[in-house]
Amino acid sequence: MKFRAIMGALCAAGLMCGVATAQAAESVEVLHWWTSGGESKAVGVLKDDMTKQGYTWKDFAVAGGAGAAAMTALKTQVISGNAPSAAQIKGPLIQEWASQGVLVNIDSVAGDWKKNLPPEIDKIMHAEGHYVAAPFSVHRVNWLYINKAALDKAGGKVPTSWPEFFAVADKMKAAGIMPIAMGGQPWQDLTLWEDVVLSQGADFYKKALVDLDQKTLTSDKMVQVFDTVRKIQGYFDSGRTGRDWNLATAMVINGKAGMQFMGDWAKGEFANASKKAGSDYICAAVPGTEKSYTFNVDSFVFFQQKGQKAATPGQLALAKTIMSPEFQEQFSLYKGSIPVRLGVSMDKFDDCAKKSYADEQTAIKSGGYVPSLAHGMAQPDAAAGAISDVVTKFMNSSQDSKSAVAALAKAAKTK
């Protein structure tokens, strides 16, 4: 009793209680691939929030490959019986892990999620009627970035159709400006290609890339998609092979190139170069996709820990924190995305983010809100990889559009 009395007195004086709490804190191990400057800063917000709640954060960051290396590490951890508390996963992979019976449900902290998430995203967070994942933010993929000075020099206007786009590209070329900055990696090829698919209409996109409908995949419209991609390629420079996306973005920032097709993570590069949306650069929807929105959403899933089937207090606290309005705002401000939670104030965000949010709401209502194939949201890895191979081969050869369409239809049958 004397010991308890002494401890009570020390607690009242603000001493030693923190030590006792820290010793008893649950350790939360988190696997992710957010390792670049802005990404690291964004995930640091979550780490700080969890630490303030009394949990010990164990960072398991795996760089490279847009998550490929992280997924390999995750499989090793789970198979060896050392699954992390949470792991960054997205798209159909969430359901694939759930089917293995290794995830816990987080329903107890997801009471208001359904009404605060876009329906297309809410369903991805579920498996067998239970929430098993918490989403962070939304990246829009179908953006076209334009150097404003280059556009002004060429005397062009922001294109809203492919004929207008090619007219601007020709004017830039005539003005001595490389029209399009492009990297040379398969995912960048696939990003551009799906942008052109989307320009044929959201319904066409969904039938082709979500439903893998053979009639749509072999249609004249799909031949036109490949034809358009081939024409766009005529405005690339010869040095794109192996070029990272951010180096292509730098070409637009410094005026060496006029335009780039890239998701809204490219905004971070402009911000780091002290460039301002509207005055230094323009973010516009890819021509023909103004009313559509390809989304890319990162999420955490939560794994069963040794000896228990239910979620731990730390896992539930992590999920609840991720979906809090305050965290959603701060994370996206650092990440270059917009909050996945609907209704979060956009007052602190830049013009591109505000446009992204407004366009998102329009797309949700009109049926133009679609998952990105190039960024792991539309298909499992096998099918997405097979389609990517077809697109990459086409963009790095002289293959004709009709034979590419035939190869695409065959690849879409990959399970």
**26-139+295-351 and 143-289+374-411 share one fold:** yes
Task: Look at residue 11 and tell me whether its pLDDT is greater than 80.
Answer: no
Torsion angle, CA of 202/203/207/209, rounded to 10 degrees?
0
Which amino acid is residue 368, in one-letter code?
Answer: G
- Specify the CATH superfamily of domain 26-139+295-351: Periplasmic binding protein-like II (3.40.190.10)
59 pairs with which residues across the strands?
30
- CA–CA distance, 277 with 264 (Å, rounded to integer): 12
d(CA 57, CA 315): 11
First to last CA, the chain: 66
Among 333, 321, 375, residue whose Cα is nearest residue 357? 333
For 150-172, what is each residue's pLDDT tens digit? 999 999 999 999 999 999 999 99
Does 1.10.3720.10 match the CATH number of domain 143-289+374-411?
no
The 10 Å Cβ neighbour count of residue 244 is 12
Residues 194-240: tens digit of each pLDDT:
999 999 999 999 999 999 999 999 999 999 999 999 999 999 999 99
Q: Long-range contact list for 112-117, CB < 8 A, 24+ apart?
A: 113/323, 116/323, 116/341, 116/342, 116/343, 117/340, 117/341, 117/342
The closest alpha carbon to 182, from 232, 139, 128, belongs to 232
Domain ranges of the chain: 26-139+295-351, 143-289+374-411
Reduced to 3 states (helix: H, G, I; strand: E, B; else coil), residue 151 is helix
Each residue's pLDDT tens digit, 319-371 = 999 999 999 999 999 888 999 999 999 999 999 999 999 999 999 999 999 99
What is the residue whose two structure tokens read 């800063």? 41
Q: What tokens were used for 27?
A: 């350790």
Residues 30/74, Cβ–Cβ less than 8 Å: no
The rounded percent of the chain whose pLDDT value lies above 90 is 80
Helix (H, G, I), strand (E, B) or coil at 285: strand
How much is the pLDDT for 64?
66
Q: What is the pTM of this model?
A: 0.88
For the segment 86-100, the average pLDDT, to the nearest whole number, is 93
pLDDT tens per residue, range 266-306: 988 898 899 999 999 999 999 999 999 999 999 999 999 98
**Residues 373/217, Cβ–Cβ less than 8 Å:** no
Q: Are 265 and 297 in contact (CB under 8 A)?
A: no
State how far the Cα of 382 lies from the Cα of 398, in Å rounded to an integer: 25
Average pLDDT, the chain: 91
The tokens for 86 are 């949470």
- Contact yes or no for 319/300 (Cβ under 8 A): yes
Query: Which residue type does 213 have?
Result: D
- Give dist(CA 278, CA 69) in Å, integer: 37
What values do phi and psi take at 137, rounded to 5? Answer: -160, 175
